[in-house]
Structure 1
Amino acid sequence: MKSFDMEKMNEFRFITGGIELLDLVRPLWQMLNELHKEKSKDFQNQYISFTFEERKKKLMVSKHMHIDIIADSSNKYIAYCISTIDSELVGEVDSLFIKEDARKLGLGDELLKRSLSWMENNNVRKKIITVAAGNEDVINFYNKYGFKKRRIILEYVEE
């Protein structure tokens, strides 16, 4: 696991909270949705019509929510992670995104560590992450933290 460079920590500001931060991630979430649309060859139409408001509604049913947002030295938001815990004590990393020019700096590692620590502190019984089809290149990153493929769900696509 790549360690976050503590000297670079001064270049970034971490904003941590809960549901009250959800609307702040909207522009970054829209970039993630666009990325999924570009990478998905079979489900592009779903990403085209998927809105932040729809995503927000799905997240709001969670029992607990944890959000970390990273701002750069000019106070622009460059990354975020949203994690939730449901009523069955299943912790999920629901959404993690880093702007392209901020990748490979260890920010994803830091966001994931913070998410997993929050889940541990809330005594989850299971931790999950869903990876969108077309975005499989992130699987190795999650594998480093103990996440393994458990199942593959296929969805019928009308052609």
Structure 2
Amino acid sequence: MKDMSEFRFISGGIELLDLVRPLWQMLNEYHKEKSKDFEEQYISFTFEERKKKLMASELMHIDIVADSSNKYIAYCISTIDSELIGEIDSLFIKGEARKLGLGNELLKRSLSWLDSNKVKRKVITVAAGNEDVIDFYNRYGFKKRRIVLEYVRE
């Protein structure tokens, strides 16, 4: 694990949303590759659609990580809705920056923000094909609550 002082963390709200676009597009591509049953949905899914949904939230917190050359390599977006449900909406770390502790740091920051806003519940949705992240989230107290199946026309 690297020393977190090697990275610059930029924290804020909705004003940072457009900065994550390139990383979000990488995440969408990653999901497209991992989730073969829903590949078409990821192909047609745009950042503008995602942004619209996120902007409907009551509160939003964004952390972006920059490396030593000031390139954005990771981000996490968390939101709180009108019923005080907090959600880790989107977390992504570029491949070369994984296994350095950035996911842990981003999740801790998001959970702290959710706690400071006194949410009633905290949720994370994991895309099909990306189940290998479940153990990571389990370490922070997130457990499987339900599994939703969606019909796919073949």
Structure 1 residues 5-27: Cα deviation after superposition (integer angstroms, max 9, x where no partner): 5xx22210000000000000000
Q: CA RMSD for the aligned pairs?
A: 0.8
The residue aligned with 1:104 is 99
CA–CA separation in structure 1 for the residues paired with 2:14 and 2:150: 30
The residue aligned with 1:79 is 74
Structure 1 residues 92-118: Cα deviation after superposition (integer angstroms, max 9, x where no partner): 000000000000000000000000000
Q: Which one of 104, 111, 117 corresponds to residue 116 of structure 1?
A: 111
Structure 1 residues 61-105: Cα deviation after superposition (integer angstroms, max 9, x where no partner): 000000000000000000000000000000000000000000000
CA–CA separation in structure 1 for the residues paired with 2:5 and 2:36: 39
CA–CA separation in structure 2 for the residues paired with 1:53 and 1:136: 26
CA–CA separation in structure 2 for the residues paired with 1:47 and 1:155: 15
Aligned pair 1:151/2:146, yes or no? Answer: yes
Q: Secondary structure at the match of 1:29?
A: helix
CA–CA separation in structure 1 for the residues paired with 2:4 and 2:123: 27
Q: Secondary structure at the match of 1:47?
A: helix
Over 2 Å off, 4+ runs: none
TM-score normalised to the size of structure 1?
Answer: 0.95
The residue aligned with 2:35 is 40
The residue aligned with 2:24 is 29
CA–CA separation in structure 2 for the residues paired with 1:12 and 1:156: 42
Q: Percent identity?
A: 82
CA–CA separation in structure 2 for the residues paired with 1:9 and 1:50: 33
Q: Secondary structure at the match of 2:29?
A: helix
Aligned pair 1:66/2:61, yes or no? Answer: yes
Structure 1 residue 41: deviation in Å? 1.5
The residue aligned with 1:126 is 121
Which blocks of at least 5 consecutive residues in structure 1 are unaligned?
none
